Amino acid sequence: MQPPPANGRTSPAATVDLQLAHQGSFPVPEQQQFELWIDAVLRAHQITAAELTIRTVDSDESQTLNRDYRGKDKPTNVLSFPFESDMPLPVRLLGDLVICVPLMQQEAIEQGKKPLDHWAHLVVHGTLHLLGYDHIDDSEADRMERLEVELLAQFDIADPYTKEPIQSHE
125 among the known binding-site residues?
yes
Amino acid occupying residue 111: Q
Tell me whether residue 136 is exposed, middle or buried, using C-beta atoms within 10 angstroms of its C-beta: 0 to 12, 13 to 18, 19 or more: exposed
Q: What are phi and psi of 59, to 5 degrees?
A: -60, -40
**If DSSP codes are grouped into helix, strand and coil, which group holds residue 74?**
coil
Annotated binding residue at 135?
Answer: yes
- Please give the single-letter amino acid code of residue 133: Y
CA distance 113 to 98: 20
Tell whether residue 118 is among the known ligand binding residues: no
Radius of gyration of the chain (CA): 16
Residues flagged as binding site for Zn(2+)? 125, 129, 135
Residues flagged as binding site? 125, 129, 135
